[in-house]
Structure 1
Amino acid sequence: MTDDRDKWNERYRDDDFDLPDEPVPELARRIDTLPDGRALDVATGSGRNALFLAEHGYDVAAVDVSDEALAQARARAEERGLDVDWIRADVTDPEGDFQLESRAYDLVVMSFFYAPELLPELTEALAPGGVLVYEHHLRSSDPIEVGPSDDWVRYRSNELLRACLDLTVLHYAEATRHGKEDDRPSAIATVVARKSCGGAQSYPAERDMRDVPRE
């Protein structure tokens, strides 16, 4: 974990390391329809999603491996008068101090963190009826200027969708997104999925099924 922490601390100290200030677009779009209560922001970075959730009344825990990122997030929270439980930890470490609680969160958000092995634990951490919102970089044959240079830390087409089929998929999209400031393109996969109650799967309303692409 030390190597990852040092790497990300160095990046967050770099003034040229540009991160979005806005929350995940699909999170912002659906915020009024998502369950209230406890929220977990995984790989929070400088806290854009955690702060947005705190502003909307959630009891928020936000975890990241980087001390520098969390220092920036805390400063932003203090400026806005927001209360967030900031946790420095490596969520992928099975022996680490931070372990995901079972059925503990009504909303889990993760963005720009490649951790497919973590998805079963995130699913278990959702309370019945809880919702996962996750977006990450996507492999693309088009020229892409934002995100990791190695394809192995990008999802393949529909890989993220298939990984979430134990949940009720409310929305899935693969799209090219352009930065507001420099218009640089990025390829992004986004999923919004709900943990169904009981032993049977449930399905989104017909109007939401249009969000799920047909293969």
Structure 2
Amino acid sequence: MSDDRDRWNERYRRDAFDPADDPIPELERRIATLPDGRALDVATGTGRNALFLAEQGYDVDAVDISEAGLERARDRAADRGVDVDWIRADLAEFDPGRERYDVITVSFFAALEHLPDLKEALAPGGVLVSEHHLRSSDPVAGPSTDRYRYRSNDLLRACLDLTILSYEERRRPVGGSGGDETGDGAVAVATLVARRSSGGTQSYPVEGTRD
């Protein structure tokens, strides 16, 4: 994955590259309902979700392949007066452990192949918050190729062994002029919130896309 590492390092070192500061909207909206404790932010970039979680009192681990992105994240953490354990690692080689985290966030990283390990890393009652680009026939911000976008319901189907608290496919305004959400206008996203639980009967939202 050295090509990915080099590509992201080059991108983060460009002065014109301006990643979003705010957390993804669903994380900010749901924060009061999430369990307290320890959090993992996957593909943290410059730390938009990790910094927000740390400000809410979580003990946060944040992993990314790019040391250049993590350098920016450390600077942001110092400016905001919070502590985060920044981990430089390729997710393919990173072991998140078992039942270790109360909250795991994944935003704008195609993580389907890594979800089994991430779900195992959730503590009982732990919550996964994930958002990623969707394929769209309309002009939207984000990756220029469908290779790095989810198909409709990919994320939902990958998490049906969790209790689905919410799932939505929609277009929303771009959250920043660069970073995880690149471009102007709107971004097409799939957003999922799901809890690791056992026993009982689970129900799921109706599949589909809502503008």
TM-score greater than 0.5 by the shorter chain: yes
Deviation at 1:15, TM superposition (A): 2.3
- The answer to which of 118-127 and 12-21 deviates more is 12-21
- The answer to which of 175-184 and 1-10 deviates more is 175-184
Change (3 A) 1:180 1:108: closer
Q: Gaps spanning 5+ residues in structure 1: where? A: none
Deviation at 1:82, TM superposition (A): 0.4
Deviation at 1:4, TM superposition (A): 1.4
Change (3 A) 1:214 1:67: closer
Is residue 110 of structure 2 the alignment partner of residue 114 of structure 1?
Answer: yes
**Residue of structure 2 equivalent to 1:138:** 134
Query: Is the 1:173–1:213 contact (alpha carbons within 8 Å) kept by the matching residues of 2?
Result: no
Aligned positions, number = 202
**Residue of structure 2 equivalent to 1:41:** 41
**Residue of structure 1 equivalent to 2:149:** 154
Distance in 1, matches of 2:51 and 2:176, equals 22
| One of 203, 206, 209 as aligned partner of 1:213 | 206
Distance in 2, matches of 1:100 and 1:91, equals 9
Query: Is the 1:178–1:184 contact (alpha carbons within 8 Å) kept by the matching residues of 2?
Result: yes
Q: Identity across aligned pairs (percent)?
A: 63
- Deviation track 1:116-167 (CA, whole Å, cap 9, x = no partner) reads 10011110000000000000000011121x1111102111111111111010
Partner SS for 2:9: helix
Query: Is the 2:22–2:175 contact (alpha carbons within 8 Å) kept by the matching residues of 1?
Result: no
> What is the letter of the counterpart of residue 115 of structure 1?
A
| One of 115, 124, 128 as aligned partner of 1:128 | 124
Distance in 1, matches of 2:160 and 2:129, equals 14
Distance in 2, matches of 1:201 and 1:115, equals 28
Deviation at 1:179, TM superposition (A): 2.7
Partner SS for 1:189: strand
**Residue of structure 2 equivalent to 1:17:** 17
Partner SS for 1:134: strand
Distance in 2, matches of 1:181 and 1:134, equals 18
Change (3 A) 1:214 1:42: closer
Distance in 2, matches of 1:70 and 1:17, equals 14
Query: Is the 2:20–2:175 contact (alpha carbons within 8 Å) kept by the matching residues of 1?
Result: no
Change (3 A) 1:103 1:181: closer
Distance in 1, matches of 2:72 and 2:200, equals 40
**Residue of structure 2 equivalent to 1:61:** 61
Query: Is the 1:196–1:202 contact (alpha carbons within 8 Å) kept by the matching residues of 2?
Result: no
Task: State the Cα RMSD in Å.
Answer: 1.6
Distance in 2, matches of 1:201 and 1:62, equals 33
Is residue 169 of structure 2 the alignment partner of residue 174 of structure 1?
Answer: yes
Matches within 5 A, 1:89-108: 89-93=89-93, 98-108=94-104
Q: Gaps spanning 5+ residues in structure 2: where? A: 178-183
Higher relative contact order (Cα pairs below 8 Å, separated by 6+ residues): 2
- Deviation track 1:5-38 (CA, whole Å, cap 9, x = no partner) reads 1110000011232321110111100100000001
Distance in 2, matches of 1:178 and 1:137, equals 13
Partner SS for 1:92: helix
